[in-house]
Amino acid sequence: MRTERAVPGLLRAAVLGLFAVFFVLPVVWLVLAATKTDDQLVHDSPLSFGSWSALRANWDALTGYQSGAILRWLGNSAVYSFAALVITLAVAIPAGYALALTEFRGRRALLIATLVVMLMPNATLVVPLFLEVNAVHLIGSMWSIILPYACYPFGVYLAYIYFGAALPRDLLDAAKLDGCSEFAAFRHIALPLAAPVVALVGFFSFVANWTNYFLPYVLLPGSDQVPVQVGLGTLLDNVPQFNPTAGAAAVQRPEVALATLLAITPVLVVFLFSQRFLVAGLLSGATKD
Amino acid sequence: MTTVGSRPRPSRAAPAFVAGYVTLLVAFGIVPTAYAIYFAFTDNEGAFAGLANFAVAAADFRFLPAIGHVALYLVCWLAALVVLVVALALLLHRLGASGAGRTLRLLYYLPGALAGAAGVMVWLFVLDPVVSPVGFLLRALGYETFGQVIAPGNLPVLFAAIAFWTGAGGWIVVLYGALNTISTEVLEAARIDGAGAWQTAWRTQIPLLRKWIVYMVILAFAGGTQLFVEPQLLSQASVGVAGRDYSPNQLSYDFAFQNDNVNTAAAISVELLVVGLVVAAVFVVRSGFFDAD
């Protein structure tokens, strides 16, 4: 009897552990790789720590690349992601509120359009967006990135679900009876209660925009304005081991590892700080009633 | 599922609440779609071209292979997603709210931060036997160089592995959440009826997860048809082993920016769009997931 129980338990632990290794090992390797010289990367054990001085040297070499290109790219990513985030929140939360709690002409059509666009992967529209932005001569403008990012139907849907399920209507009715305008009711009653969904929409929008590659790759061709995701591709072109024609601007592999680490740090920080809350938010999204 | 209480009431302020969103949705959802359709059905002088652009795309020697590549990749990725994500969510759920369960959920989700180019960069290293943390595994499988690992035949599996690595954690958390909503009485009843863990999962939990699994598969399918950054960066790093025409999206990009043929590029985009829209529509209509009113 006891062995019968113990074996599935062990098996379960083994499977869960194996996948933990699968998910985490590359991340651990990445952190360690940034502390090595290229020679150490090849010859030392893959999971050994290099040295602080090598990390320092990699940092200097990386920030020296095209006089601080990596910092420029990170800055660009930050500007695009945060600007889009602010617009998304300003636009999606009221829209979700109106869709959930009011009736107006076109409400149903807007709801369906939201669901359809939300289910379409955003890469679908990249080439069409290029054609559109090109037609109005805005290629290379940062708004050609920020505004498409800011259009975030999934955020509207989340807000719609949240207001529909979690906002007590009596509260709004009472406010209206007391002479509150629609805006005042939203501003003073709905919005303060919406903090969890504001944060959830904000997190998803930030991660989606920070990690987007295809849109800026197409809309910001070969300029100083590219975000870090596209910048990583540029670095890759200058790694001799991956591209033998890499010229004088050659980049070593540990520097690329460090650049990748820098590129993911903002998302990791945001995620680690909001982890507990995110799971709760996702769960509240999962419970329908 | 949302309007549990009283029905929404008419509001004169509503247009002001949705105006910003509608503007963005029109400008960056509806207009580009219309524009792509216009381009797809006209020639480079703006005259109606019927299906000529679609014919050019379909006749291109790279088109069918690109569709084939993505189809193969989707089979690998969706199979891995359904089997492993459901299994891992069930296993985690049995751990319950313990510290180990929480930690594992966090660890599984971690690579989610590495979506996009960053994740591909990591995998370029993981797949290079010289520097890889699993170099011993790759060598045991008979691969000595990066070029051998990324042989064209391996790519669907490798792209599926990358997609699983970055995407699975989020879905595990979602399914875990859905499992939590199954009432304990239902599970208790199954246990009293003599169902073991295996039978409970198969007969009770998985059927109740069905909606979520379908949702996951549809989003993963639609996203998978758009494959771009993985093959693009891989082709950059592969010294010519992998081409720049692996996926339909790469082909569309190539037509637009290398061949200066936006009409054919638009035709490919429209085809991808139609796949995306059909999948979305089927889901909206059939699943009842989004029962709006």
Please tell me whether residues B44 and B66 are part of one structural domain. no
pLDDT score of A289: 36
Q: What is the pLDDT averaged over residues B247-252?
A: 92
Mean pLDDT per block of 10 residues along chain A (289 residues) reads: 60 92 95 94 90 95 92 96 96 94 90 85 84 90 94 93 81 79 84 86 91 92 88 90 77 94 91 70 47
Report the chain B residue with the minimal C-alpha distance to residue A31.
B122
Sorted by where each starts, the structural domains of chain A and their CATH numbers stand as 1-64 (no CATH), 70-284 (1.10.3720.10)
pLDDT score of A227: 95
pLDDT tens by residue, B20-31: 999 999 999 989
Q: Which residue has the higher pLDDT, B47 or B12?
A: B47
Mean confidence (pLDDT) of chain A: 87
Please tell me whether residues B175 and B43 are part of one structural domain. no
Name every chain A residue with its beta carbon within 8 A of the beta carbon of B167.
Answer: none
CB contact (8 A) between residue B8 and residue A24: no
CB contact (8 A) between residue A47 and residue B133: yes
Q: Closest by alpha carbon to B218, among B32, B74, B110, B72?
A: B74
Please tell me whether residues B83 and B205 are part of one structural domain. yes
Name every chain A residue with its beta carbon within 8 A of the beta carbon of B265.
Answer: 127
Please tell me whether residues B192 and B236 are part of one structural domain. yes
> Running DSSP on this structure, what letter comes out for residue A120?
S
Residues 6+ positions from A286 with CB-CB distance below 8 Å: B174, B177, B178, B180, B181, B212
Find residues 54-93 of chain A whose CB sits inside 8 Å of chain B. Answer: 87, 90-92
Beta carbons within 10 angstroms of residue A7's beta carbon = 10
Helices (H) and strands (E) in chain A, counts: 15, 1
Interface test with B, best of A74, A120, A162 (most B CBs within 10 A): A120
- The answer to whether B263 touches B49, Cβ cutoff 8 Å, is yes
Name every chain A residue with its beta carbon within 8 A of the beta carbon of B135.
Answer: 46
CB contact (8 A) between residue A124 and residue B276: yes
Q: Is B150 helix (H, G, I), strand (E, B) or coil?
A: coil
Amino acid sitting at position A127: V
Report the chain B residue with the minimal C-alpha distance to residue A282.
B174
CB contact (8 A) between residue A127 and residue B283: no
CA distance B237 to B128: 11
CB contact (8 A) between residue B122 and residue A30: yes
What's the CATH number where B69 sits? 1.10.3720.10
Question: Is B13 an 8 Å CB contact of chain A?
Answer: yes
Beta carbons within 10 angstroms of residue A97's beta carbon = 27
pLDDT score of B8: 65
Please tell me whether residues B42 and B154 are part of one structural domain. no
Report the chain A residue with the minimal C-alpha distance to residue B101.
A16
Report the chain A residue with the minimal C-alpha distance to residue B21.
A91
Q: Closest by alpha carbon to B111, among B98, B122, B102?
A: B122
Q: Closest by alpha carbon to A91, among A112, A110, A75, A76?
A: A110
CB pairs under 8 A between A and B: 319
Interior angle at CA B78, CA B73 and CA B82, nearest 5: 155
CB contact (8 A) between residue B18 and residue A211: no
CB contact (8 A) between residue B36 and residue A16: no
CA distance B95 to B195: 18
Residues 6+ positions from B35 with CB-CB distance below 8 Å: A128, A131, A132, A135
Beta carbons within 10 angstroms of residue B255's beta carbon = 25
The pLDDT of residue B61 is above 80: yes
pLDDT tens by residue, B118-133: 999 999 999 999 999 9
**How near does any CA of chain B get to the CA of A52, in Å?**
20
Please tell me whether residues B65 and B42 are part of one structural domain. no
Q: What is the pLDDT averaged over residues B73-101?
A: 90
ipTM for this model = 0.87
CB contact (8 A) between residue A16 and residue B29: no
Question: Is B6 an 8 Å CB contact of chain A?
Answer: yes
Question: What is the extent of the structural domain holding B46?
Answer: 13-50
The answer to the question of residue B27 being in a domain is yes
Strand A102-103 to B9-10 pairing: parallel
The answer to the question of residue B30 being in a domain is yes
Please tell me whether residues B132 and B186 are part of one structural domain. yes
CA distance A203 to A123: 20
Percent of chain B beyond pLDDT 90? 45
The answer to the question of residue B56 being in a domain is no
DSSP B232-273: HHHHHHTTTSS-S-SSHHHHHHHHHHTS--HHHHHHHHHHHH
The pLDDT of residue B189 is above 90: no
As for how many domains chain B has, the answer is 2
pLDDT score of A288: 39
Find residues 147-206 of chain A whose CB sits inside 8 Å of chain B. Answer: 147-148, 150-151, 153, 156, 160-161, 164-165, 169, 181-183, 186
pTM given for the model = 0.87
pLDDT score of B293: 44
The answer to the question of residue B95 being in a domain is yes
From the list B17, B262, B265, which residue is nearest A98 (CB)? B17
The answer to the question of residue B233 being in a domain is yes
Please tell me whether residues B27 and B156 are part of one structural domain. no
B4 falls in which pLDDT band (50, 70, 90)? Answer: very low
pLDDT score of A119: 77
B202 alpha carbon, distance to own chain's centre: 25
- The answer to whether B247 touches B231, Cβ cutoff 8 Å, is yes
> Running DSSP on this structure, what letter comes out for residue B8?
P
- The answer to whether A126 touches A214, Cβ cutoff 8 Å, is yes
- The helix (run of H) or strand (run of E) holding residue B280 is helix B262-287
Q: Which residue has the higher pLDDT, B111 or B11?
A: B111
Question: Is A127 an 8 Å CB contact of chain B?
Answer: yes
Percent of chain B beyond pLDDT 70? 95
Q: What is the pLDDT averaged over residues B270-276?
A: 88
Q: Closest by alpha carbon to B67, among B270, B223, B225, B219?
A: B225
Please tell me whether residues B33 and B66 are part of one structural domain. no
pLDDT score of A6: 58
The answer to the question of residue B264 being in a domain is yes
Interface test with A, best of B9, B21, B176, B227 (most A CBs within 10 A): B21
Q: What is the pLDDT averaged over residues B188-217?
A: 83
CB contact (8 A) between residue A102 and residue B11: yes
The answer to the question of residue B171 being in a domain is yes
CB contact (8 A) between residue A16 and residue B117: no
Report the chain A residue with the minimal C-alpha distance to residue B166.
A23
Please tell me whether residues B238 and B131 are part of one structural domain. yes
Mean confidence (pLDDT) of chain B: 87
The answer to the question of residue B212 being in a domain is yes
Question: Is A114 an 8 Å CB contact of chain B?
Answer: yes
Residues present in chain A in total: 289
Please tell me whether residues B97 and B20 are part of one structural domain. no
pLDDT score of B103: 87
Q: Closest by alpha carbon to B94, among B220, B214, B205, B251?
A: B205
pLDDT score of B7: 59
**How near does any CA of chain B get to the CA of A288, in Å?**
7
Find residues 154-183 of chain B whose CB sits inside 8 Å of chain A. Answer: 165, 168-169, 173-174, 177-178, 180-181
CA distance A287 to B182: 9
Please tell me whether residues B209 and B91 are part of one structural domain. yes
